[in-house]
Amino acid sequence: LHGSMSIVDNELTIGKIKCSELKKKYNTPLYIFDEELVRNNCREYMKHFKVEEKGNRVAYAAKAFFPVYMCKLIDEEGLYLDVVSEGELYTAKVAQFPMEKILFHGNNKTLEEIKMGVELGVGRFVVDNYYELELLNQVCEQKKKKQDIYFRVTPGIEAHTHEYIQTGQVDSKFGFTLSNGEVHKAVENLKKYENLNLVGIHAHIGSQIFDIKPYLDEVEIMLGLINEMKKNYDIEIQELDLGGGFGVYYSEGDNPKPIKEFCENIVKKADEVCRVLDIKLPVLIIEPGRSIVANAGSTIYTVGSIKDIKDVRTYVSVDGGMTDNIRPSLYEARYECILTNKAKNPKNQKVTIAGKCCESGDILLKDVKMSEVESGDILLVSSTGAYGYSMASNYNKILKPPVVSVLNGESKIICKRQTYENLIELELM
């Protein structure tokens, strides 16, 4: 049970509300957002990454889950923000997020995106490559602005995670490679770009990482680079952004470290390395996405058809699927589920939970233990808060479910259910 979940009268509640009540009020499929847990996670990060004490920064990675409501919450909690597109930037603007607290990422920012970022005054562009350096400098020249930037560095760290979400290794589409001198070359060329001001360096080593070790290696490598820049080029790098990727619990076998441990170890390591190298400690930045929202999100579905193939498998189908959660089909991600109306019943059978898409691969959970199931039961899949809603699609023209925030017995819609009108609004008659 995550966050504010508890079991009352054999029924699962979140934010003190029974799932059956949520179903009655909003229907299924439905994303539920445990606001208390999200806020607690933000506060844990802010506290243990020493934001007040040392001036470090925590930037929420918008890509994980980013409705306007979430953006406002992030601002209220005092975090910075990492965006990667015009769309995320636009959302931040609508939510009136302070532009100077935005980091703009992306390996192929378009000219329009660059213009928009410069015009709105985003705090830092995380420059990924030479092409972007040229474009950004030109835009800034035209607009007579000086832009603070970071360089995105590919540090050559291979963290153990799914290959699609690994990013720190040498063979990556992201960033200036460290090992072949690309970073140094970019620094040497900096003088050419009169409208850009290099204030920091950034790396992101991957996602859903449980080990602290790769992060400590990253700290060492990146501080080493800062030291070299000072010695060789007399450039003072004041900000070090270590990216996100801290792992969360989805299902048995996942062993994430508490936020506190991650943060404290990173902060401590940076202190030590700076002492050894005898350099000034830069402001540290981290960019968690998943670990702020994943466990705070759940999806409830209604069980429909049940197909029992004797001695082979029992398929339990629900009224959503890969359209609201692509992660099982895309990454073979594993989740846990529970029948919310039979929360304490013994889990005495093995079933496979299938979605409703016209595709055999639309399986949400394979071979999971479950209590006696009947059509009409409410099935909750836990930890769907990150990269669920944000990666949802309209495949088969299935409508995107709404998101409802729950807190202390109150619920409210933060994203409405899509309508058929929404579905065809871009289509010409």
Say which residue the tokens 């050419």 belong to. 192
Going 85 to 89 to 91 to 92, the CA torsion angle's sign is: positive
Assess 244 for contact with ligand LLP (CB under 6 A). yes
Q: Which residues 26-85 are close enough to bind ligand LLP by CB under 6 A?
A: 61, 64, 82
Q: Which residues 329-348 are close enough to bind ligand LLP by CB under 6 A?
A: 331
Cα(7)–Cα(339) distance, integer angstroms: 11
| Span from 252-260, 261-269, 289-297, 410-418 in contact with ligand LLP (CB under 6 A) | 289-297
Assess 327 for contact with ligand LLP (CB under 6 A). yes
Q: Which of 288, 328, 385, 401 binds ligand LLP (CB under 6 A)?
A: 288
Closer CB to ligand LLP, 91 or 207, in the complex: 207
Q: Using the CB atoms, write b or e for 331-367: b if 16+ within 10 Å.
A: bebbbbbbbbbbbeeeeeeebbbbbbbeeeebbbbee
Helix (H) or strand (E) run with residue 133 in it: helix 130-142
**Residue 207 three-state SS:** coil
Binding residue numbers for pyridoxal 5'-phosphate? 245, 287-290, 387
Closer CB to ligand LLP, 28 or 166, in the complex: 166
Cα(38)–Cα(180) distance, integer angstroms: 40
The dihedral over CA atoms of 303, 309, 310, 312, expressed in degrees to the nearest 10, equals -110
| Span from 4-12, 182-190, 287-295, 343-351 in contact with ligand LLP (CB under 6 A) | 287-295
| Span from 21-29, 189-197, 285-293, 362-370 in contact with ligand LLP (CB under 6 A) | 285-293
Please count the residues of this chain forming the interface with ligand LLP, following the rule CB under 6 A.
22
Binding residue numbers? 245, 287-290, 327, 331, 359, 387
Closer CB to ligand LLP, 314 or 390, in the complex: 390
Cα dist. 35→47, 150, 244 in Å?
A: 18, 32, 21
User: Minimal distance in Å, beta carbon 288 to ligand LLP?
Assistant: 5
Integer-rounded Cα Rg, in Å, for the chain is 23
Assess 243 for contact with ligand LLP (CB under 6 A). yes
- Active site positions, annotated: 358
Q: Are strands 378-382 and 17-18 parallel, antiparallel or unpaired?
A: unpaired
Assess 245 for contact with ligand LLP (CB under 6 A). yes
Closer CB to ligand LLP, 186 or 333, in the complex: 333
Q: Are strands 313-318 and 349-354 parallel, antiparallel or unpaired?
A: parallel
Q: What angle do CA 315, 319, 323 make, to 5 degrees?
A: 100
Q: Which of 48, 57, 290, 356 binds ligand LLP (CB under 6 A)?
A: 290
Say which residue the tokens 């360089």 belong to. 151
Binding residue numbers for substrate? 290, 327, 331, 359, 387
Q: Which residues 149-178 are close enough to bind ligand LLP by CB under 6 A?
A: 165, 167
Assess 205 for contact with ligand LLP (CB under 6 A). no
| Interface pattern 108-147 for ligand LLP (x via CB under 6 A) | ----------------------------------------
User: Minimal distance in Å, beta carbon 60 to ligand LLP?
Assistant: 9
Q: Closest by alpha carbon to 330, among 291, 289, 388?
A: 388
Answer for the pair 198, 205: CB distance below 8 angstroms, yes or no.
Answer: no
Q: Which of 291, 299, 341, 382 binds ligand LLP (CB under 6 A)?
A: 291
Give, rounded to a whole angstrom, the gap between the first and last alpha carbons of the chain.
48
User: Minimal distance in Å, beta carbon 250 to ligand LLP?
Assistant: 10
Contact footprint for ligand LLP (CB under 6 A): 61, 64, 82, 105, 165, 167, 204, 207-208, 243-246, 287-291, 327, 331, 386-387
